């Protein structure tokens, strides 16, 4: 569920009704006090009404993607040229986030720049997979040392994309060997213990011949990420109301079936509609209920590892 300011009565009502499992802070948050107050209000309602805490996350990559303007990282990923700098920037960010009650950073970007026209720009650590892997690992360790969960994104890589999946469908027309070489930063993040991996909304025909976006691909999420790479943490979608996937029918159910645990939306109406569709699907399908139960187990394990409780 997206939040761009103080929680509204309608959002608090949805939290109290158990219709919201987590909140992503979007927009620009210019005050640490206002941020902490908003998070505390949400958690109070969730704990009082449901007896369980929400997951609160934010895109705090650094540089141009820094929702908490008062917090680190002050540098963009491209300027974090050593592992010591990446570690220190991430640790400082995590300390600020934990003070505000935020437990998830939707960072670092683990994509390797593979074209000078990449839309990612300075959000990536660079164009060499080995260098990116070292810096991503350092960022993961810096965050998680202080108790903020890291999120390696955007699996299996958006470094070849010249347009953002936020705007329109994107196909990564690279061969399997090329894409495989750029999995190295994701493998490094997993080895460093990243608690989440965010799956891309782009399509990768060389990895899944059906051409479906990665977020809906059982082959990519369950087969490659969970199977071959051995990731057993929480898989989160990129925004399911983004231009690349917004017109896909039954997008929450398809993402869940692929192996995604957390369903992320950037707009309130889309979040509400996605929740309604998933409730409908669960009522109709035993398979969906099994998939939901597996996702809940992984999410509960994440909360426990972060020390989140009421």
- The confidence score (pLDDT) of residue 1 equals 85
- 235-291 pLDDT, tens per residue? 999 999 999 998 888 899 999 999 999 999 999 999 999 999 999 999 999 999 999
Contacts by residues 74-79 (CB-CB < 8 Å, ≥ 24 positions apart):
76/122, 76/123, 77/108, 77/109, 77/122, 77/123, 77/124, 77/125, 77/135, 77/139, 78/121, 78/122, 78/123, 78/124, 78/125, 78/126, 79/122
- The confidence score (pLDDT) of residue 246 equals 85
DSSP 82: S
Beta strand ranges found along 143-203 (DSSP E)? 151-155, 196-199
- CATH number reported for the structural domain that contains residue 246 in this entry: 3.20.20.300
Number of structural domains (the chain) is: 1
Rounded mean pLDDT, 6-15: 96
Is 125's pLDDT higher than 90?
Answer: yes
Is 34's pLDDT higher than 90?
Answer: yes
Is 115's pLDDT higher than 90?
Answer: yes
Q: Is residue 50 part of a domain?
A: no
pTM above 0.85, yes or no: yes
Q: Is residue 218 part of a domain?
A: yes
Rounded mean pLDDT, 93-97: 98
Q: Is residue 18 part of a domain?
A: no
Report CA dihedral (46, 105, 176, 159) to the nearest 10 degrees.
Answer: 130
Counting residues of the chain whose pLDDT is more than 70, the rounded percentage is 100
How far apart CA 89 and CA 60 sit, in angstroms, is 11
How far apart CA 149 and CA 20 sit, in angstroms, is 19
- The confidence score (pLDDT) of residue 286 equals 96
Alpha helices in 27-151 (DSSP H): 32-50, 83-99, 129-145
Mean pLDDT, the chain, rounded, equals 97
Rounded mean pLDDT, 104-132: 97
Show the domain range for 213: 60-305
- 185-230 pLDDT, tens per residue? 999 999 999 999 999 999 999 999 999 999 999 999 999 999 999 9
| Angle ∠(181,186,188) on CA atoms, nearest 5 | 95
Q: Is residue 278 part of a domain?
A: yes
- The confidence score (pLDDT) of residue 257 equals 97
């Amino acid at each position: 569920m997206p939040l761009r300011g103080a929680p509204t009565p309608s959002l608090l009502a949805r939290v109290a009704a158990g219709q919201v499992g987590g909140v992503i802070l979007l927009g620009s948050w210019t005050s640490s006090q206002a941020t902490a107050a908003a998070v505390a209000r949400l958690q109070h309602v969730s704990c009082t009404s449901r007896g369980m805490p929400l997951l609160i996350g934010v895109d705090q990559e650094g540089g141009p993607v820094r929702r908490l303007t008062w917090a680190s990282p002050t540098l963009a990923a491209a300027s974090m040229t050593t592992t010591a700098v990446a570690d220190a920037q991430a640790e400082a960010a995590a300390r600020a986030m934990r003070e505000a009650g935020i437990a998830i950073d939707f960072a670092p970007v683990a994509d390797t720049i593979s074209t000078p026209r990449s839309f990612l720009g300075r959000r990536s650590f660079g164009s060499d997979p080995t260098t990116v892997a070292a810096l991503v690992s350092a960022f993961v360790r810096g965050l998680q040392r202080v108790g903020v969960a890291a999120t390696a994104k955007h699996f299996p890589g958006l470094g070849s994309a010249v347009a953002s999946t936020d705007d329109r469908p994107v196909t990564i027309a690279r061969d399997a060997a090329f894409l495989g070489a750029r999995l190295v930063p994701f493998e490094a993040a997993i080895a460093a213990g990243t608690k989440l991996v965010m799956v891309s909304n782009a399509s990768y025909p060389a990895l899944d011949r059906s051409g479906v976006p990665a977020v809906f691909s059982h082959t990519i999420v369950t087969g490659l990420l969970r199977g071959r790479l051995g990731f057993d943490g929480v898989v989160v979608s990129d925004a399911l109301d983004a231009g690349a996937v917004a017109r896909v029918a039954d997008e929450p159910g398809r993402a869940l079936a692929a192996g995604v645990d957390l369903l992320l939306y950037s707009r309130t109406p889309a979040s509400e509609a996605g929740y309604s569709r998933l409730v409908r699907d669960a009522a109709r399908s035993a398979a969906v209920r099994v998939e939901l139960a597996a996702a809940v187990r992984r999410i509960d394990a994440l909360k426990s590892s972060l020390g989140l409780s009421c």
